Amino acid sequence: MAPSSQRHPTLYQTYGERSEQPNLTPLASYLLRLIHLKRTNLCVSADVNTTTELLQLAEEVGEHICVLKTHADIIDDFSDRTIRGLNEISRRKKFLIFEDRKFGDIGSTLQQQYTRGPLAIVKWASLVNAALFPGPAVITALAEAAQKAIAAHNTSVSTDISASPAASLVDSGRDDESVEGASDDDDDDEDDDDDDDIDSDVAEASDLAEDRKGRKQSVVSVSTTISTKTEAISPQPALRPTLSRDSTQSSDAEEAEEVAAELAELGPPPFHRSLLLLAQMSSAGNLLTPDYTAQCVHHARRNRDFVMGFIAQQSLNKEAGDNFITMTPGVQLTQGGDAHGQQYNTPQKVIAEGGTDIIIVGRGVYGAPVSERKAAALKYRQAGWNAYQQRLRAGRQRR
Ligand code: 6AU
């Protein structure tokens, strides 16, 4: 079902234009800029079962994606090593991490599911999703927990920055434990041997930044620690680099260099957290009615500082001021389905016709033979981007 252009404020706007509009969370603005600069609207769904497979997949497809989606609870050996590995690759290859937790419980329980336990999702996933069926407290409870985690993170940053070099290496980070559930306290029993598997300098730097206990004090210089965390504390990154480049033009070597420089300038994502509401599902016979979807939009508008957008099959931006990001699962290069109710649409159908923003592809990429996974990601990247460009062209023809 194609959304009507009259009632769709973002349908014919570029990601770059949208990134500069108000009514966006810092993270939404960052993500739109990232998509615009990296020229990819592909999210790979990494539904694999071990840390090694997850990190290998992230490494292989990282350059082609804007978001990597995880299901942490299906990873047999999920641990701090998983988190540090993911963080390192996401910083280096530039993509956001989205934990597909599909929260759906009373507020007090889901605050704990978000911040505690072996997954402690709030610490490492920029994006999570939730169903609205328990009621709007789902949004406010998650937002409150996210806010505490951000405050704890920023407190620890301030502590690190203001401490003397020696103190920041030895004592940093013990002041943030007042924030229940959001501190790194529960890292205490993590196995230091895990660290041996991450060998790049960047990984060492981000390990140190995360590691408030100073276990690796001697490896990275103090200035590296401070600059890493200073970037992360920024609540609203400046709108840089400028978005002058016309994303609809084809790439050449010069442009590739320019893109690399702009991406480097974009820096790491701000330490913020956002929510995607599960507004529509791809599975056959699902019970998410149009009324339920409309409620998701209603409550998203009331919580624009935390709700980045939706998981849905079509764009739900209908009123002036709507600039929600829609991510669409159930995507393959041909229409079809699986044996368990999954239904697939093409990138053309969901991006060009449905007006959505990001395609989520799981088995279409990780189901390919290992040697072909990178090429599969590239294929989906191109299909998603072509569909977006087709939509922009249709918009130009209407003018
Ligand atoms: O491409 P697939 O079918 O291998 O994987 C699709 C991924 C899976 C699902 O858990 C998820 O997308 N998903 C979701 C999400 C992202 O919330 C909603 C939905 O309606 N359908 C769906 O498949 O990881």
Of 38, 69, 94, 102, the catalytic one is: 102
Mean pLDDT of 240-265: 69
User: In angstroms, what is the span from residue 12 Cα to ligand 1's centroid?
Assistant: 26
Burial pattern 240-273, b for ≥16 Cβ within 10 A else e, equals ebebebebeeeeeeeeeeebeebbeebbbbbbbb
Residue 102 falls in the annotated catalytic set: yes
How far apart, in whole angstroms, are the C-alpha atoms of residue 326 and residue 350?
Answer: 10
User: Of 330, 374, 372, 371, which is closest to residue 354 (Cα–Cα)?
Assistant: 330
Q: By alpha-carbon position, which residue is closest to atom 11 of ligand 1?
A: 329
Determine if the peptide bond prior to 22 is cis (ω within 30°): no
How far apart, in whole angstroms, are the C-alpha atoms of residue 244 and residue 123?
Answer: 34
Q: Residues 123, 149: contact at Cβ < 8 Å?
A: yes
Query: Over the stretch 58-91, which tens digit does the pLDDT of each residue have?
Result: 999 999 999 999 999 999 999 999 999 999 999 9
Query: Over the stretch 144-186, which tens digit does the pLDDT of each residue have?
Result: 999 999 999 999 877 766 664 544 333 333 333 333 333 343 3
User: In angstroms, what is the span from residue 239 Cα to ligand 1's centroid?
Assistant: 32
Q: Could you tell me if the CB of 104 is within 6 A of ligand 1?
A: no
pLDDT band at 201 (very low <50, low <70, confident <90, very high): very low
Query: Over the stretch 15-31, which tens digit does the pLDDT of each residue have?
Result: 999 999 988 999 999 99
Element (H, E) at 379: helix 373-398
How far apart, in whole angstroms, are the C-alpha atoms of residue 115 and residue 302?
Answer: 24
**R_g over Cα of the chain:** 20
Residues 6 or more apart in contact with residue 370 via CB below 8 angstroms: none
Atom of ligand 1 nearest to the CA of 280: 20
Q: Could you tell me if the CB of 362 is within 6 A of ligand 1?
A: yes
Residues 6 or more apart in contact with residue 300 via CB below 8 angstroms: 277, 307, 309, 310, 324
CA distances from 313 to 297, 327, 355 (A): 14, 8, 9
Mean pLDDT of 218-245: 40
Mean pLDDT of 336-354: 98
pLDDT number for residue 202: 33
Q: Could you tell me if the CB of 333 is within 6 A of ligand 1?
A: no
Q: What is the pTM of this model?
A: 0.82
Who has greater pLDDT, 399 or 294?
294
Atom of ligand 1 nearest to the CA of 278: 17
Tokens (6 digits) for 55: 């990190």
Atom of ligand 1 nearest to the CA of 360: 12
Give residue 214's region: left, alpha or beta (phi > 0; psi -120 to 50): left
Provide the percentage of residues in the chain whose pLDDT is more than 90.
Answer: 70
Mean pLDDT of 283-300: 98
pLDDT number for residue 256: 79
Q: Could you tell me if the CB of 224 is within 6 A of ligand 1?
A: no
User: In angstroms, what is the span from residue 361 Cα to ligand 1's centroid?
Assistant: 8
Q: Residues 330, 45: contact at Cβ < 8 Å?
A: no
| Amino acid at residue number 327 | M
Q: Could you tell me if the CB of 376 is within 6 A of ligand 1?
A: no
